[in-house]
Structure 1
């Protein structure tokens, strides 16, 4: 739940054992606007209508429709050099891992490594338009069946 200041409140807000929470995930990139638009399509996220992302913005923020997760894209001068140390694991909300894989590739993702197994388990490692790795997992329905 988000309070009036936009800061998360709720179950752990007053717990003295909890000292921090993740405000948003930041992605360094070359083109914040283009990459935020791409991820906005992939995740079905939105932007703040009072502070819309525009071409040329060096920082672009998108949020899940329920407001619980935010991703901030920040332009940096250096390019990606090595494998990400942190990445997104995506699970299809509808459909299958393979149908979502096809959708992501049609949007411009590139396949980096196919780690699917003959028994249907596993995942596929993809790269976004700037080469940042992320994985596509099986859907909840596929895991249950």
Structure 2
């Protein structure tokens, strides 16, 4: 392959604050911290990470890209992430969906899906 994903970049006002929030959510660590960028990842030699870059303009609309997190226990993870500083948001989802929509401290939406085991069962039940 000639190309691979290196980083997902998130624009932010508070580089270290948002990086530490996502480190807490993902159980990752800060890999590099400079005045104009903070990079986090699961480990020093990880192929992909998240890079936080500074911006001055505020977030104005719903994300065009978001993370879907697949936990073992959706309810417990939602409560843990809320305690880290996330908040619940309504982006028009119905009550019958299998995910919970949250926003990080700067308003970037992301989803916490139903438990991993139910996602695997769903994939395994699809016709071939």
TM-score using structure 2 length: 0.81
Q: How many residues align?
A: 118
Separation in 1 of the partners of 2:7 and 2:115?
24
Q: Which has the higher contact order (CA 8 A, sep 6+)?
A: 2
Considering only CA atoms, is the larger Rg found in Structure 1 or Structure 2?
1
Does 1:131 find its partner at 2:107?
A: yes
Runs (4 or more) in structure 1 with deviation over 2 Å come to: 113-117, 142-145
Instruction: Give yes or no for the alignment of 1:64 onto 2:42.
Output: yes
- So what's the TM-score if we normalise by structure 1? 0.73
By how many angstroms is 1:21 displaced?
A: 2.1
Among candidates 52, 66, 70, match of residue 91 of structure 1? 70
Structure (1 or 2) with the greater helix fraction: 2
Greater share of strand residues, 1 or 2?
2
CA distance in 2, matches of 1:135, 1:74: 22
